[in-house]
């Protein structure tokens, strides 16, 4: 949990809030708060960079099956769709 003093007011901000912000899912107030205060909170930047690096690593590791493999799977699943076992 991060706690920030902004304008003499403390607002608790969790890792979940930053995660939602990273994926563009945070509410407007939280997004605006993070954007307005990120320069004063290097921990936030570090966490967001770690998220970026992790998602980039996952994207590089993603291997899609060959189109032939997909065709075979779809044909097999379709052929058994209406057959009982």
The helix or strand, by DSSP H or E, that contains position 5, with its residue range, turns out to be strand 2-6
CA 17 → CA 14, 24, 25, 61, 81, distances in Å? Answer: 5, 10, 9, 26, 43
Sign of CA dihedral 59, 61, 67, 71: negative
Q: What would the pLDDT profile of 11-52 be if each residue is shown by its tens digit?
A: 678 888 998 999 899 999 999 999 999 999 999 999 999 989
Instruction: Find the helix packing angle between 15-22 and 42-61, rounded to 10°.
Output: 50
Mean pLDDT across the chain: 77
pLDDT at position 21: 92
Whether this model's pTM surpasses 0.75: no
């Amino acid at each position: 949990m991060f706690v920030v003093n902004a304008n003499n007011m403390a607002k608790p901000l969790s890792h979940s809030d930053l995660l939602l912000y990273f994926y563009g899912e945070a509410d407007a107030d939280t997004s605006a708060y993070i954007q307005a205060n990120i320069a004063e909170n290097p921990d936030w930047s570090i966490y967001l960079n770690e998220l970026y690096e992790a998602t980039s690593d996952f994207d590089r590791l993603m291997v899609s099956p060959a189109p032939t493999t997909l065709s075979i799977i779809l044909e097999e699943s379709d052929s058994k769709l209406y057959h009982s076992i």
